[in-house]
Amino acid sequence: MYKIAKENLSQLFRQIVQEQELYLPVKTAGQTNFAVWSEDAGVDLDTLKTVKSPKDVFFPQSENLYTVKKEGKKLHVEPEELKSQDFVIFGMKACDVKGVEVLDRVFLSDPIDTFYAARRNHGTIIALACHEPEESCFCKVFGVDAANPAADVAAWMIGEELYWKALTEKGESLTELVKDLLIDAEETKVVEEKEAIHNIVEKLPYMNLSLDGWGGDVLTEKFNSGLWEELYKPCLACGTCTFVCPTCQCYDIKDYTTANGVSRYRCWDSCMYSDFTMMAHGNNRTSQMQRFRQRFMHKLVYYPANNDGIYSCVGCGRCVEKCPASLNIVKVIKAFQKQGGEQ
């Protein structure tokens, strides 16, 4: 294990960008999201959660796939180049790292998404433990340890020092790249920090949220429940929950015309929208209740049914904080829990 003084992090960032791109939390106009590091960037390592998850480093909100150019009567297809530059993403939290694992099971399964795979192959994740988890957090419910982020490098910000531990081959390679800036460190303070984080987590209001009755084998029971008719009513269909979520992976593919051809791109989409998966004959989910149900059935039933029982939620709490109608996965789980007679 190593450590580096907080005041020397800028030097660490400079050394990384000599060889690789660097993404980290940056505050702009009062909001913190992941962005490319620069000398004048407002780096913000104190905000616990960025507004959006950092998944768009691997799965961009919008990206070109290819361009078709017309020359006379001939058409030429020019595929977009795959990511070839190595990069580092610094400061991801344990929940967001788990979110990337959820996306891996979607985009790296056959047929492999080559755009996503290229970014995963070239990316190195430095995860930062959550010094003070917030009331909206419930990551422990989904098996995420806020004190032990599972990434290429795990880091802990303790006082005025950052502790650094490589966990994978990528992490070891990055450590070698910046080793002259790191000094050897004992794990004593990190052990104490982990214990302090765990003590906070145990006191969070959603820590005892129960997943009993959910999973891949309750499809018919949950799908046909009358509770959906009551739960969905405040939903505004704004899609905020899907755009801040670390695990939502739905996208649309569209074309736009250019001066001499057509470009095809994909962009994030939301199952909460009335035109989601719209086809010539219409939409197979004709009501907002059906679309609302789809979101939570996918998180808690469909995804675990096809992914060894793993849920498509990581308990980051962004939907708890951002939904303008106070609808979120916690409310859904609690409603079904109450129906089952549990306290």
Phi, psi of 342 (to 5 degrees): -80, 150
pLDDT per position as a tens digit, 26-84: 999 999 999 999 999 999 999 999 999 999 999 999 999 999 998 888 889 999 999 99
Res 75: pLDDT: 87
d(CA 229, CA 129): 39
Query: Which DSSP helix (H) or strand (E) runs through 162?
Result: strand 161-166
Res 259: pLDDT: 77
Extended strands (E) in 42-150? 62-71, 74-79, 87-92, 123-128
Are the CB atoms for 54 and 34 separated by under 8 Å? yes
Global confidence as pTM: 0.92
State both tokens at 7. 């005041």
Closest listed residue to residue 139, CA positions, set 92, 69, 107, 106 = 92
Regions of the chain with pLDDT less than 70: 277-284, 340-343
d(CA 214, CA 207): 17
Res 282: pLDDT: 60
Closest listed residue to residue 96, CA positions, set 125, 54, 56, 61 = 54
Query: Which DSSP helix (H) or strand (E) runs through 263?
Result: strand 261-268
Res 342: pLDDT: 44
CB atoms within 10 A of CB 244: 20
Classify residue 333 by burial, with Cβ atoms within 10 Å: 0-12, 13-18, 19+.
buried
Res 341: pLDDT: 46
Question: The tokens 């660097």 sit on which residue?
Answer: 22
End-to-end CA distance of the chain: 44
Who's near 296: CB < 8 A, 6+ residues apart?
329, 332
CA distances from 117 to 42, 112, 120, 151 (A): 30, 7, 5, 17
Res 70: pLDDT: 83
Question: The tokens 């609302």 sit on which residue?
Answer: 292
Res 278: pLDDT: 64
Are the CB atoms for 83 and 115 separated by under 8 Å? yes
295: amino acid identity, one letter: R
Are the CB atoms for 310 and 304 separated by under 8 Å? yes
CB atoms within 10 A of CB 164: 25
